[in-house]
Amino acid sequence: MAEQEQPTPIEEAAEPASSEVIIPEGSEVPEDVLEESEVPPSTDKSPKVRIDPEEQIAGKSVRSIIFSVFSPKTIKQMSSAKIVTPELYDKEGYPVDGGLMDIRLGVIDPGLKCKTCGSKLKECSGHFGYIELARPIIHIKFVPLIMTLLKCSCQGCGRVLIPKNKVDTAKKELGRIEEELGIEERRRSVKDIITNLKTINKCPWCKSKQSKIALEKPTTFLENEKRISPIEIRARLEKIPDEDLELFGLRPQNFRPEWSILTILPIPPVTMRPSITLESGERSEDDLTHKLGDIVRINQRLFENINAGAPEIIIEDLWDLLQYHVTTYFDNEVAQLPPARHRSGQPLKTLSERIKSKEGRIRHNLAGKRTNFSARTVISPDPMLGINEVGVPFEIAMKLTVPERVNEWNIAYLKNFVKNGPKKYPGANYIVRPDGKKKKLTEETIEASVEELQPGYVVERQLMDGDIAVFNRQPSLHRMSMMCHRIRVLPFKTLRLNPAVCNPYNADFDGDEMNLHIPQTEEARAEAEILMEVQTQLISPRYGLSVIGCVQDSISGLYTLTKRSDIDRKLALDLLAATGIEDFSRLPKREKVSGKEIVSVLLPEDFMFFGEKRSDLGVEGKEKEDITVIIKDGKLLSGVLDRNNLGEGSGLLLRTIHKKYGKEFSLDLLGKLFRLGIEVLLRLGFSVIISDTDLPEKARQEIKETLTQADREVEELISLYHNNKLDTFPGRTLRETLELKILEVLNRARNKTGEIAATHADRDSPTMVMADSGARGNLLNLAQMAACVGQQAMRGKRIDKGYRGRTISAFKREDFSPHARGFISNGFKSGLTPFEFFFGAMTGRDSLMDTALRTPKSGYLYRRLANAMQDLKVEYDHTVRDAGKRIIQFSYGEDGVDVAKSENGVINVQRLFGVHGGQD
Amino acid sequence: MKKKFEISEHRLVPKHTKLSDKEKEELLAAYQITNKELPKIKKNDPAISSLEVKEGDVIKIVRPSLTSGESTFYRGVVNV
């Protein structure tokens, strides 16, 4: 890792005026690094010999990087042209000599040769030029530094305002601050030290008086409310002696402060600001060229005016204008300046904007690399795939390739791929000769290629079943967002996955797209397989339970299956066979078997489990015994399997199996259970109809009575309120008390109607099965359909928006009755009144807005967290430390538990010591 | 009569104690660290105002924890 050995003089080292130079500490470092990547794999060796890439790597490492600033002298030295005119092209459309598109600055047109180095387009990376500024200009990015330097150095002699005898202690103190808090804090602290020493007003060296210096943003410095010209500032900075600069953490050989006042401006090569030729033949210049044109133009005018002896006012104005142009050239988003714009009014994208933020060079081009050997399409479900498989369309499988090296044992096998070529599956798209030359396979080259093939060649063959791929869905918030799957090449055009892995990816099929990557080396494949394959990711490191479980239909299916005890043996065998079971010996030999016995066939024979209770709401009689899951010797004795035991992130059933039988077995079992659930529904049928929510007349009557009773109670409360007889709650006004009491009454009524609906609903109806098993929906949803939707609330209150004193103009003012304030007493099935519907639309819109606003907010919050914690790591002594080895936690999570190896964050100590099997 | 509010007696303030020099040595040796790697606490932090600490001391904090019941934490006193 490159280490920063000395303080960086300046952070914004990326602009040309302060371009970074990488100075190798040990002299030859960068050349060697470059060489490694530039030498083609073979230059000196015969093509037949396999080249070991290790041999090419010279053992050098970067010890340090120093960022520094160009001095005016260096800028002149490295320039190949002096720019003197804002014109770009002459009448023939040829670049003007001394113009911004001068051909000495590099080539951007194909066919031309660079006038400086003689190379062609793409070979010549361009050359810098420079302009001489008529008057010094302040570099906007150095303003804070200039400010500190001016404030901390004597205005007469240039020495730092620290007495001789205190310099050493100050240096030590500053060194410590820099180490702990960074270079910026060091510079800030110099001023604090001087303030503490009370030398801010009088120089301890030459005893001259110091006046106050202020900054008028962005670039004007004031002394006693009078402007100091950049010339004066430059003169003062020049006076600061080298040894005093070290106090500020600056290295004088790399950065003299006067260099931050520009006298010479480097002109970047044309290659970094290429012009584009439009269809009409017109040339459109880059934003930077536009900006540089402004600078050169104003600079020339300034020169002319100075030479002509123009009045001071005109010169000052032009100087300020030049300062504006140079400032916006570096940064067009300076707070106090209006951004420079195109004629169309859109702001120019100048140097800073090229670098920073999401679309900037760093995050977009450097951190955000694009990748080959990857695919992306819409996803769709396929429960017949294994959980660790991914279905890949033929179209994709025939584009993506896996490189395989030919040897004497596999040559026949690989020749078959080459024979098929790129158009016949399974074929090959490229062959690579041992010298590294890649050859594309086409109809014409197939025959020659087959002949040519011999050990040492590499065949890039098309994807096949069983190949390894990394599958990913953004946002990748988790490590489970990127898992390794086995490929299954399938017809049609979507990527397919088992619906059980939707959870870790947080995927659904309403148009989601996912990415697929094909590792290209043996090492990468091994890594993906061992560290990332789905079965290795079963237990969540967040809560220590399975992240993959049965979902939706599968849960409904297993629930119905385990509830029934009268299944024909024929059907049972059919189900098991469809699930992939071949050994039926564990199924009891009876005409009728129970669902529990069918599930038991899947379970391992020595499995013991005592499971969580599911919700026992409304369960009576015989069924009451069925609410706890008991598995003994691999037999499901009692209990209905539902989401509490099979779902992701809930229940210990899956966790226990994983612990006892390992990841491969759990994945296999999960796959089989999942399929069993689906097969059950496939055979028995499962449809939701509106009459699922039908209630008997008696229940409907009851609901109606409950609601009228609530209405009466609210009416009473309102009359109490009007007569001032309501007891106010502490800390509430009378009005608030009324609202709270009404809300309470209405809530109670709604809950009661819900209960009525739940008790009278047909427990075997598909709607109830889904709610009860936890597959989809809940009792509240059912109650809203069958009985009463309930109070619509916005921000925890009944709806009171709309007109003055009322929600809808059809009501009277100050009408506090339920129906005027958003209480929906109808159910969805009986239908809503227009007013009720309107209230529903209000809250619906409100919650839609809320989610739309919350998503980006939480996304950004997550990004900040992830960035802040990215280098934290648990060390071998259980401490959590950052990259600087500073301790963050003394024991990971304060209890030192690795959640991924725990059961729901807890360690079962009883089982650890074998106390009655840990199960009880 | 105004009684000074003693912050360390408040139920939400975890127990802060100063380590002796020997304990401090042992702690630093156990984690193979110097003062620099320790989490920091400012010298004038209200929670240790009654402890008479100087820079470089180590404060032991015992606080209730959701995961482990009670957890110990150490902070080095700094004056920045």
pLDDT for A646-669, tens place per residue? 888 777 888 888 888 999 999 999
Last-in-domain residue among A243, A258, A273: A258
DSSP code string of A60-72: ----B-------H
| CATH, domain range B7-78 | 3.90.940.20
A175 with A230, same domain: the answer is: yes
Q: Is the pLDDT of residue A25 over 50?
A: no
Interchain proximity B39–A879, CB inside 8 Å: no
A306 with A442, same domain: the answer is: no
Percent of chain A's residues with pLDDT above 70: 91
Distances, alpha carbon A524 to alpha carbons A202, A245, A407, A484, A702, in Å: 66, 50, 21, 11, 67
A528 with A558, same domain: the answer is: no
Strand partners, A468: A486
Query: Percent helix, strand and coil across chain B, each rounded to 5?
Result: 25, 30, 45
Best A188, A542, A878, A886 member to test B by mutation, with max B CBs in 10 Å, is: A886
Predicted local confidence at residue A209, as pLDDT:
78
Q: Is the pLDDT of residue A189 over 70?
A: yes
The C-alpha atoms of residue A292 and residue A107 are separated, in whole angstroms, by 18
Among chain A residues, the shortest Cα distance to B67 is held by: A895
Q: Please state the rounded mean pLDDT for residues A463-473.
A: 95
Candidates A30, A112, A15, A123; CA nearest to A69 is A15
A701 with A838, same domain: the answer is: yes
Q: Is the pLDDT of residue A309 over 80?
A: yes
Degrees, nearest 5: CA angle A657-A660-A666: 40
Q: Is the pLDDT of residue A842 over 70?
A: yes
Answer with the residue of higher pLDDT: A623 or A299: A299
The parent domain of residue A890 ranges over: 873-912
Place of tokens 């160009």: A70
Containing H/E element for A797?
strand A797-798
A577 with A677, same domain: the answer is: yes
Q: Which of residues 389-418 of A touch B (CB under 8 A)?
A: none
> What angle, 0 to 180 degrees and rounded to 10, lies between the N-to-C axes of helices A167-181 and A183-197?
150
Predicted local confidence at residue B9, as pLDDT:
84
Place of tokens 């849960």: A555
Interchain proximity B39–A181, CB inside 8 Å: no
Yes or no: say if A138 and A261 are a contact pair by the CB < 8 Å rule.
yes
Asked if residue A275 belongs to a domain, the reply is: no
Secondary structure class of A134 (helix, strand, coil): strand
Q: Out of A181, A890, A894, whose CB is closest to B67?
A: A894
Last-in-domain residue among A468, A502, A537: A537
Asked if residue A548 belongs to a domain, the reply is: no
Predicted local confidence at residue A848, as pLDDT:
92
A417 with A335, same domain: the answer is: no
Asked if residue A216 belongs to a domain, the reply is: yes
The domains of chain B are located at 7-78
Structurally, how many domains does chain A consist of?
A: 6
> pLDDT per residue over A770-807, tens digit each?
888 888 888 888 888 888 898 888 888 888 888 888 88
Interchain proximity B38–A887, CB inside 8 Å: yes
Asked if residue A128 belongs to a domain, the reply is: no
- Residues belonging to chain B: 80
Confidence of residue A880 (pLDDT cuts 50, 70, 90): very high
Q: How far is the alpha carbon of B4 from chain A, nearest alpha carbon, in Å?
A: 30
> What angle, 0 to 180 degrees and rounded to 10, lies between the N-to-C axes of helices A569-579 and A595-602?
30
A656 with A562, same domain: the answer is: yes
Asked if residue A23 belongs to a domain, the reply is: no
Q: Which of residues 39-68 of B touch A (CB under 8 A)?
A: 39, 65-68
Residue A814, domain CATH: 1.10.132.30
Q: Which of residues 851-890 of A touch B (CB under 8 A)?
A: 877, 879, 881, 884-888, 890
The C-alpha atoms of residue A514 and residue A578 are separated, in whole angstroms, by 29
Asked if residue A323 belongs to a domain, the reply is: yes
Asked if residue A144 belongs to a domain, the reply is: yes
* DSSP code at position A528: I
Q: How far is the alpha carbon of B45 from chain A, nearest alpha carbon, in Å?
A: 19
Q: Is the pLDDT of residue A333 over 90?
A: no
Backbone φ and ψ of A488, nearest 5°: -125, 120
Best A872, A895, A906 member to test B by mutation, with max B CBs in 10 Å, is: A895
For chain A, the straight-line distance linking the first and the last C-alpha, in angstroms and rounded, comes to: 53
Q: Is the pLDDT of residue A506 over 70?
A: yes
Among chain B residues, the shortest Cα distance to A174 is held by: B80
Q: Is the pLDDT of residue A138 over 70?
A: yes
Tokens in use for A320? 């300020």
A244 with A296, same domain: the answer is: no
A506 with A597, same domain: the answer is: no
A579 with A704, same domain: the answer is: no
Q: Which of residues 158-177 of A touch B (CB under 8 A)?
A: 177
Yes or no: say if A693 and A786 are a contact pair by the CB < 8 Å rule.
yes
Asked if residue A369 belongs to a domain, the reply is: no
A306 with A400, same domain: the answer is: no
Secondary structure class of A546 (helix, strand, coil): strand
A596 C-beta neighbours (distance < 10 Å), count? 22
A609 with A668, same domain: the answer is: yes
